[in-house]
Structure 1
Amino acid sequence: MRVLFTIMPAPAHLYPIVPIAWALQSAGHEVRIASHPDIAEATTRAGLTAVPLGPEADLASSVRSAADNAELERIVGALALDPADRNLYTALRHYLMAPFAHYYPARLPAPSEPAMVDALVDFARSWRPDLVLWDPLFFPAPLAARACGAAHARLLWGLDHFGWARERFVKRLNAPGAEPREDLMAAMMQPTLQRLGQEFAEELLVGQWTVDPTPPRLRLPTDLDHVPVRWVPYNGAAALPGWLHERPTRPRVCLTLGVSGRKFFADDAVPVAELLDAVGALDIEMVATVDGRQLADRGAVPENVRTVDYLPLSLLLPSCSAIVHHGGAGTFVAAAFARVPQLIIPKEGGDFVDHARYAADFGAGLVAERAGLTVSHLVKQVLRLLDEPSFAEGANALYADLSAVPGPDALVPELVKLTEKHRS
């Protein structure tokens, strides 16, 4: 079987698919990873075949350009979200709907402009995959699958906010007296669909089915067909540093605020430099995966602080007693599988808050709200994680909950069966 993965060009979207791609390759299936050229090098470093297509992507600019899109505002407005839930509004309006507007623009590209959808359709017709597994924000994928007769399914990297929003939109669309009466999402797709000679179908938005790594109790309520798979952490590959050969002599704490976040979106809410200074007075070791921007205009760090630009969490966390992070899925899962208590400072606009609450509900960590955040509060929370045995017990319980879901090896035969059912 030939399997084509299609993803947004960001590590946070590549890393979750790697264990599943490995499982397929190990079972003898052919695998390709298609995306914008930006992520090709990271893909090949993971031992996978990259297919760079279309232009390079500027995700931050895409989000900014969608900020004034009136159609997106109407779509999200029709969902009648709780006004107090700014996190959900931000996730839907700015981070989920921006790629939708990017891949379904009101103005069709000129013949001289490279368009991802055309490049992907051409590759799919040439390589002829049996199955296309697509990032839920990579909207050209189902069009390419349809063009070559492949089965296709979404492969989630977090909570299914888009699937939930689409179901809610359709229900309100069909409710008596509700506004709008027009399917605004289908209307935005029409120019591209007409150019490609395709008709709208619901599966172009939510797939023929969905592969879902979200733990059952964290999953959003939808009526979509979900196939569960265990979240398996992958954070990249690197040579093991010499200082990791030996066990730490005092409690080691990891500080990380995420690779994708610091690459694409500025994040200055966490006082990194001040926190590192405060750690100097503690009998702990801190390993901070930070970049130059986060340490700008400061001198040397305390002797018990080690800064590294990047180190895969799978190498670092087994030696740690706690982790401080932003709540991203990759970091959350890596910490959970390493059974490390977590202090989460959740960002707004995604799954960050959900992961923080999930860890806290298991007693596996603490949540530090960004509003009014102080270094002294962070230090107190870190010390609690280290001093109170209940957090280690909660981390074990969280690990057990995640481990109860079947792994990628068990998913492979299910994908084969579903591909035979849906392939045209």
Structure 2
Amino acid sequence: MRLLFTTWAWPSHLYALVAQAWACRAAGHEVLVASQPALAAEIGRCGLPAAVTGHDVDAVAMVRRYVIGAPRAEAGGRGGPRAAEMFLAHAESMTEALVELAAEFRPDVVVYEPTALAGPLAAAVQGVPAVRHLYGTDLMARAKQVLPGLLAPLAARYGLDGVDPFGALTLDPTPPSLRPPAAPPAVPVRYVPFNGGGRPVTLPEPGVPRLCVTWGHTMAKLSAERFLLPEVVRALHPLGVELVAAVSAAQVPLLGQLPEGVRVVVDAPLHSLLDTCDGVVAHGGAGTVLTALHHGLPLLLVPQLPDHAGHAGAVAGAGAGQLLPVADAAPRRLREECLRLLEDGAPRAAARRLREEMRRQPPPAARVGALVSAAGRPVRPSDN
């Protein structure tokens, strides 16, 4: 069987597909990962065959325009149609080339992350099923009334009456407690952390509680002012806990002078750092949230983007952490919330319950058969 995986050029969206793509390859199926030019090298670093489709879209500029332009206190609000318009811009940049690639590659199924809307379009043109692979809480469910209309003009170019942006099947790596009630039905799959191909770092056992502070990749790209990690670390230092700042090489110049004793780890996969941590303080990105919960760690989340607010809200709703609005993230409040995270056993217990929910879900290898069935092919023993 041939599977065409696709995402627009955002590394964290790619990383969410890697475990399932490799599971399909390990089962003997042919896999190709298609994205815009900016992601081609990263796909290769994941060890997967890459195909370039379309042209790059300046997603950072688009996000900056609709978020940074708002007052800082409002940055955690809903982005609604503006975010959908950004996803449409990526679809418009990729669809023609993806349709051509699908005609050449002849996939049996197209697997796409939920915001890569060129995926279901190309699948519909090719006449094969499209399978959504979520990377976090299904926030696209709240746009279900908007997306078909946005895609209609693109679909019409190919003689299609319409395209279902939610595909024929959804694979969901989130624990059931984080799934919105209004989300479409989904097939659960175990979350396997993949945060990039950097060298893992093993930290020594700490003598005091240890918090990992990380701010993903997006916020530093938008604005140095929005990269809150340095000020969060400085605010938490008086607590007397060990602080691990997980950053990328590009973020190191933004750190400034950090307090003595802060451990800075550069370009290490996040999942390799968390075994000896007691909690995570972060921005609310889906990959960070699921990786922390994979380790059973409670989170303090300070979201600044609509999707980050959505993921953080799901965590808080499940009792596994706290959402702190950015307008309230003064040093004293940050310290109070972190102390609560470390001293109150309820968030840790909730995070561990979510970890057990995740562990009970079938691994990606066990979901290869679902993809084979979606394509209408007979399932082999190696696909289960």
Offset from partner CA, 1:286-313 (integer Å, 9 cap, x none): 1112468867687532221122343211
Q: Which residue of 2 aligns with 1:237?
A: 197
Offset of residue 120 of structure 1: 1.5
- Establish whether residue 379 from structure 1 lines up as the match of residue 335 from structure 2: yes
Q: Select 1:335's aligned residue among 289, 292, 298.
A: 292
* Mapped partners of 1:130, 1:382: distance in 2: 48
Q: Which residue of 1 aligns with 2:84?
A: 96
Q: Which runs of 5+ in 2 are unaligned?
A: 68-73, 378-384
State the TM-score, normalizing by the size of structure 2: 0.85
Q: Select 2:363's aligned residue among 407, 410, 418.
A: 407
* Mapped partners of 1:235, 1:141: distance in 2: 23
* Mapped partners of 1:257, 1:129: distance in 2: 37
Q: Which runs of 5+ in 1 are unaligned?
A: 68-84, 105-114, 171-182
The 3-state SS of whatever aligns with 1:318 is: coil
Offset of residue 400 of structure 1: 1.5
* Mapped partners of 1:66, 1:247: distance in 2: 43
* Mapped partners of 1:26, 1:200: distance in 2: 37
Aligned pair in 2 of structure 1 residues 234, 102: CA closer, same or farther (>3 Å)? closer
* Mapped partners of 1:288, 1:132: distance in 2: 37
Offset of residue 66 of structure 1: 8.5
Offset from partner CA, 1:380-422 (integer Å, 9 cap, x none): 222232233443323211211233332212211111111117x
- Establish whether residue 308 from structure 1 lines up as the match of residue 301 from structure 2: no
- Establish whether residue 13 from structure 1 lines up as the match of residue 1 from structure 2: no
* Mapped partners of 2:204, 2:75: distance in 1: 45
Give the 5 Å matches for 1:125-204. 125-166=103-144, 168=145, 184-185=149-150, 187-189=152-154, 193-194=156-157, 196=158, 198-203=159-164
Q: Retained in 2: the 8 A contact 1:66–1:98?
A: no
The 3-state SS of whatever aligns with 1:32 is: strand
Q: Retained in 2: the 8 A contact 1:273–1:295?
A: no
State the TM-score, normalizing by the size of structure 1: 0.78
- Establish whether residue 249 from structure 1 lines up as the match of residue 207 from structure 2: yes
Aligned pair in 2 of structure 1 residues 411, 373: CA closer, same or farther (>3 Å)? same
Offset of residue 86 of structure 1: 8.6
Aligned pair in 2 of structure 1 residues 347, 64: CA closer, same or farther (>3 Å)? closer
Structure 1 window deviating more from structure 2 (323-332 vs 142-151): it is: 142-151
The 3-state SS of whatever aligns with 1:38 is: helix
Aligned pair in 2 of structure 1 residues 346, 212: CA closer, same or farther (>3 Å)? same
Q: Retained in 1: the 8 A contact 2:282–2:301?
A: yes
The 3-state SS of whatever aligns with 1:231 is: coil
Which structure has the larger Rg over C-alpha atoms? 1
The 3-state SS of whatever aligns with 2:316 is: helix
Q: Partner letter of residue 49 of structure 1?
A: P
The 3-state SS of whatever aligns with 1:96 is: helix
Offset from partner CA, 1:93-141 (integer Å, 9 cap, x none): 222232214534xxxxxxxxxx532221222111111111112222222
Q: Select 1:214's aligned residue among 160, 171, 174.
A: 174
Aligned pair in 2 of structure 1 residues 354, 89: CA closer, same or farther (>3 Å)? closer
The 3-state SS of whatever aligns with 1:317 is: coil
Give the 5 Å matches for 1:19-58. 19-58=19-58
The 3-state SS of whatever aligns with 2:204 is: coil
Offset from partner CA, 1:356-389 (integer Å, 9 cap, x none): 3433344432222212320111122222322334
The 3-state SS of whatever aligns with 2:123 is: helix
Q: Select 2:246's aligned residue among 289, 296, 304.
A: 289
* Mapped partners of 1:337, 1:415: distance in 2: 24
The 3-state SS of whatever aligns with 2:264 is: strand
Aligned pair in 2 of structure 1 residues 154, 169: CA closer, same or farther (>3 Å)? same
Aligned pair in 2 of structure 1 residues 382, 270: CA closer, same or farther (>3 Å)? farther
Offset of residue 255 of structure 1: 0.6
Q: Retained in 2: the 8 A contact 1:326–1:346?
A: yes
Q: Partner letter of residue 290 of structure 2?
A: V
Q: Retained in 1: the 8 A contact 2:3–2:110?
A: yes
- Establish whether residue 367 from structure 1 lines up as the match of residue 323 from structure 2: yes
Q: Retained in 1: the 8 A contact 2:136–2:287?
A: no
Aligned pair in 2 of structure 1 residues 88, 274: CA closer, same or farther (>3 Å)? closer
* Mapped partners of 1:379, 1:165: distance in 2: 36
Q: Partner letter of residue 154 of structure 2?
A: M
The 3-state SS of whatever aligns with 1:420 is: coil
Aligned pair in 2 of structure 1 residues 206, 358: CA closer, same or farther (>3 Å)? closer
Offset from partner CA, 1:188-246 (integer Å, 9 cap, x none): 336xx33x4x222243x2322322333334323458453222233211122234xx353
Offset from partner CA, 1:54-102 (integer Å, 9 cap, x none): 22331123456899xxxxxxxxxxxxxxxxx996741x22222322145
Identity over the aligned pairs, expressed in percent?
35
* Mapped partners of 2:277, 2:20: distance in 1: 27
* Mapped partners of 1:253, 1:402: distance in 2: 22
Q: Retained in 1: the 8 A contact 2:137–2:180?
A: yes
Structure 1 window deviating more from structure 2 (316-325 vs 399-408): it is: 399-408
Q: Retained in 2: the 8 A contact 1:11–1:260?
A: no
Q: Retained in 2: the 8 A contact 1:322–1:386?
A: yes
